[in-house]
Amino acid sequence: MSKTIIGGILTGDETPEETIALKKASINKETTQKILYGVEYKDVKFYLTRENQSNFAELDRLRNELTYPFEVWCGDNSVFIQDTTEMHQFYMLGMQYIQTCLSEGKAERDAL
């Protein structure tokens, strides 16, 4: 039987190594999606794209220079951050969420 890749799925007589590589790729994709469609804060879903991660990091870095309450937007939704402590908590929530997703994905891949 010949090997064919259809829609990212290997069919045919794949080797155990190829099967594991496909499973790892699938876990990586799921982990990325989980991060992107991510975290909720004050009932607002924040998408953790790389751009948003960078923007939130910059807000955290500048938190002592911002005027509060500060409105943080994500798509058509927003939340008001009341002070520097809350701004840092908002940022850390996102970073901890990303770390948890990555750790869970790594554990899944290591279990293969």
Summarize pLDDT for 87-106 with one digit per residue, the tens: 999 999 999 999 999 999 99
Q: Give CA–CA dist 38/101, Å, rounded.
A: 9
Positive or negative torsion for Cα 93, 29, 50, 43: negative
C-alpha span between 110 and 18 (Å, rounded): 15
Q: What is the pLDDT of residue 38?
A: 78
What string of DSSP letters covers 16-75? Answer: HHHHHHHHHHHHHHHHHHHHHT-EEETTEEE---HHHHHHHHHHHHTGGGS-SSEEEEET
| The model's pTM | 0.82
* pLDDT tops 70 at residue 3: no
Q: Which helix H or strand E contains 96, and what residues bound it?
A: helix 84-110
